[in-house]
Structure 1
Amino acid sequence: MRKIIFSLISLSCIIVAFSPSFSAYGWGYKRTNDHQVPEIGMYQDLLDQYGGYYHDDSGEKTLYLTFDNGFEAGYTDGILDILDENEVPATFFVTGHYVKSAPELIQRMVSDGHLIGNHSYTHADFTALTQSGFKEDLLLFERALQSVTNYDRTQYIRPPKGIFNAQTLEWANELGYIHMFWSLAFVDWHEDNVSGWESAYNQVMDQLHPGAIILLHTVSEDNADMLEHFIKDCIDQGYTFKSLDDLVFRDQVMDPLVD
């Protein structure tokens, strides 16, 4: 079998951490710059089996903005302003620490109509948890979120550092969660690594493709500065920004057997 070189976003290689019966994987893909959806190799079978997503396979020129938030660096308010001004929906995958430390921003995300995703309470490696520990971590996050908003519960989950396996995918399904990975990202989570907004812009535009689920971090000044340029240029190229709910609802309508 030919090797696929994965362009890992959160890790530099596939992590193999052996448990009694499951290996742990770090999300990754074969990066492209020809407007094509990147390949994910063996991960595709896992997503098919457990109903996870990493892109929109309709072929339409739709984009889905997602942000991972573990701590606040002072840029999220400005990012929310840009999203509001351009009427672009987003999903914010946040941790329990973020909910506790930045409740006003969480409340604004919800009031602005954005989705909140479960990024765990403790930013734990899901594959190192027992099933009861996994459930408790996610439910702690839900309780924290409910304590500062009227959000019923989250539907989408993104594992910290992209670490997962078949067992954690199954456990999440049993709790009613849908895994949302990504098909476009770059190393943008180092708060002190500022290269200028053009660098961030170019790295995103070079990977752009129809149906991309885009992962960004709000700790990056470069991301905050490039976001408006990126949104406007994508719209000029005929792209439409949609919510993850649009993607999932469309698939459920097309497959009425889905509960």
Structure 2
Amino acid sequence: MNTDRTYQMLLVLFFAQSCAFILGLGQLYGGDPTVQTARASTPELSRDIPDRSNLAECVIAQINYPRHILSYQLHITTIGDHLDAIAHQYGSEAALIQQYNHISCSPPPGRALIIPQTNPPAIWPQQSVRDQTILIDHGRTDRPWVALTIDMGAGSQPVPHMLEILRERDIQVTFFPTGNWIAQNPWLARQIAQDGHEFGNHSYSHPDLRTLTDRQIAQELAKTEQLLYDTTGATSRPFVRPPYGAYDERVLQTITTQGYLPIFWSLDSLDSVDPPKTPAFLIHRVTTTLSREELSGAIILIHGGSEATAEALPSILDQFATMGFEVRTLSEVLGQ
């Protein structure tokens, strides 16, 4: 009889401890909704890392992360940096940094990373994000790769043809849609994601960010990120391209504070600038303006609403291939 009672008491104790443990995990990874920051309204990063042949074997396929991000920090990698050490320094998780920035375990030196902080850092950074500015206009120069980036603000008619051209050549690039564009073209946004392309954030309404407050900039980015996720299941993080390429130090700092890397370009195709450009002009400008040395790691800007660009795209891609250059996504060209 005493044995049965002891056994029952042990079962009750085990059940109580299990419930406490589960509740503890819920507080750590789910958090109390009454104390969530604005991050709680944005999608958590639980999606797969894109399948890229050049990623190290240590890539984590799928991990669920806590929604609550304390803050974001900017880190520029140096020789010998490893994600475990970086994560420990900033109070983050190696797999979270990896997935957030689309990188392997050992990114190349000089790679700019956004570090989502989920815990107080082991070592407080000497500089906060507010003390730093960065604007990325070029990638790694040690490979014959170029990043083709396509801004999507006005117009959508040429996009299906562009996607078909890229699909035929098995090429993935990086699209920067505005939130307005996604709202007006949800099926195209889903097709872009389905084809394996990468996304960046181009704001919601395409304003000059210099005319907005920090809060308004944050709202523009958050609204687009949420809509992109709701529409496609993809994320625009960690890349933002300021509309019109317009920025100042405050804009760059605000973008980084919101957990994004500001992206510029090495070469503007001028396909959105009057007077209207011919396909021949665009082919010549995109493939011959930069030297071979400058092309390695170049970030090239074109626009998805340009019929002339869609017509020129096959020749641009074929010319790069003839020159020995591969067209890649932005994250690949920056260094994974």
TM-score of the two chains, using structure 1 as the length reference: 0.73
Partner residue, 1:220: 306
Partner residue, 2:24: none
Q: Structure 2 counterpart of 1:203, which letter?
A: R
Out of 281, 286, 302, the position equivalent to 1:204 is: 286
Q: Is the 8 A contact 1:125 1:163 kept in 2?
A: yes
TM-aligned CA deviation for residue 100 of structure 1: 0.5
Structure 2 stretches of 5 or more lacking a match? 1-131
Q: Is the 8 A contact 1:191 1:219 kept in 2?
A: no
Question: Is 1:119 the counterpart of 2:205 in the alignment?
Answer: no
TM-aligned CA deviation for residue 59 of structure 1: 3.9
Q: Is the 8 A contact 2:297 2:334 kept in 1?
A: no
TM-aligned CA deviation for residue 88 of structure 1: 1.4
Partner residue, 2:90: none
Partner residue, 1:55: 138
Distance 2:254 2:195 in 1: 31
Q: Structure 2 counterpart of 1:228, which letter?
A: P
Partner residue, 1:74: 157
Q: Is the 8 A contact 1:184 1:213 kept in 2?
A: yes
TM-aligned CA deviation for residue 206 of structure 1: 2.2
Structure 1 stretches of 5 or more lacking a match? 1-48, 251-259
Partner residue, 2:126: none
Partner residue, 1:186: 269
Distance 2:273 2:191 in 1: 25
Out of 127, 130, 134, the position equivalent to 2:217 is: 134
Mean alpha-carbon deviation: is it higher for 86-95 or for 185-194?
185-194
Higher relative contact order (CA 8 A, sep 6+): 1
Residues matched between the structures, number = 201
Out of 142, 151, 156, the position equivalent to 2:234 is: 151
Q: Is the 8 A contact 1:200 1:223 kept in 2?
A: yes
**Aligned to 2:268, what secondary structure does the other structure show?**
coil
Distance 2:285 2:217 in 1: 34
Partner residue, 2:253: 170
Q: Is the 8 A contact 1:95 1:123 kept in 2?
A: yes
Out of 170, 180, 194, the position equivalent to 1:87 is: 170
TM-score of the two chains, using structure 2 as the length reference: 0.57
Partner residue, 1:231: 317
User: For 1:213-232, what per-residue CA distance to the aligned partner results, in whole angstroms no more than 9, with x for missing partners?
Assistant: 00001222221111111111
